[in-house]
Amino acid sequence: MTEATRNANWWKGAVIYQIYPRSFQDTTGNGVGDLKGITQRLDHVAALGADAVWISPFVKSPMLDFGYDVSDYLAVDPLFGTLDDFRALLDRAHALGLRVIMDQVLSHTADQHPWFLESRESRDNPKADWYVWADARPDGNVPNNWLSVFGGSSWQWEPRRGQYFLHNFLRQMPDLNYHNPEVQQAVLDTCRFWLDMGVDGFRLDVCTFYAHDLELRDNPPNPNIPEGEAFRFNPYSQQQHVYDIARPETVAFLEKLRALCDGYGDRALLGELNESDAVRIHREYTAVKRLQLAYGYWLTGAHHISPRMLRDVARDLGHDDDSGWPCWAMDNHDFSRAITRLGAEDRPEEVTVILAALSCLRGAMCLYQGSELGLPQAEIPHDRIIDPYGKEFWPAYKGRDGARTPMPWQEGAPHSGFSEVDPWLPVVSEHAELAVSKQEALPGSTLNRMRQFLTWRQDKAVLREGGMEFIETTENVLSFRRMLGDCVITCAFNFGGQEEVVHLPEAEVGPAMEGHGFGGVRRGDDVRLPAYGAAFFERGS
Helix (H, G, I), strand (E, B) or coil at 68: coil
> Where in 350-498 does DSSP place strands (E)?
364-368, 467-471, 477-484, 487-494
Strand pairing partners for 502? 527
Query: How far is Cα 366 from Cα 343, in angstroms, rounded to an integer?
Result: 21
Strand pairing partners for 523? 526
Query: How far is Cα 508 from Cα 525, in angstroms, rounded to an integer?
Result: 10
Handedness of CA 417, 422, 426, 432 (dihedral sign): positive
Q: Which member of 51, 69, 77, 272 is catalytic? A: 272
DSSP string, 169-218: S-TTSPBB-TTSHHHHHHHHHHHHHHHHHT--EEEETTGGGS---TT-PP
Packed helices 348-360 and 446-458: angle between N→C axes, nearest 10 degrees: 10
For the chain, what's the residue count? Answer: 541
Query: How far is Cα 167 from Cα 172, in angstroms, rounded to an integer?
Result: 8
DSSP string, 307-341: HHHHHHHHHHH--STTS-EEEEES--TTS--HHHH
Query: In sequence order, what are the residues at sequence separation of 6 or more whose Cβ sits closer than 8 angstroms to the Cβ of residue 257?
Result: 187, 188, 191, 269
Annotation says 272 is catalytic: yes
* Contact indicator for 276, 311 with CB cutoff of 8 Å: no
Query: How far is Cα 540 from Cα 23, in angstroms, rounded to an integer?
Result: 44
Packed helices 278-285 and 248-262: angle between N→C axes, nearest 10 degrees: 40
Q: Which member of 111, 158, 205, 372 is catalytic? A: 205
Q: How open is the CA angle 400-72-66, to the nearest 5 degrees?
A: 10
Annotation says 135 is catalytic: no
User: Which residues are identified as catalytic?
Assistant: 205, 272
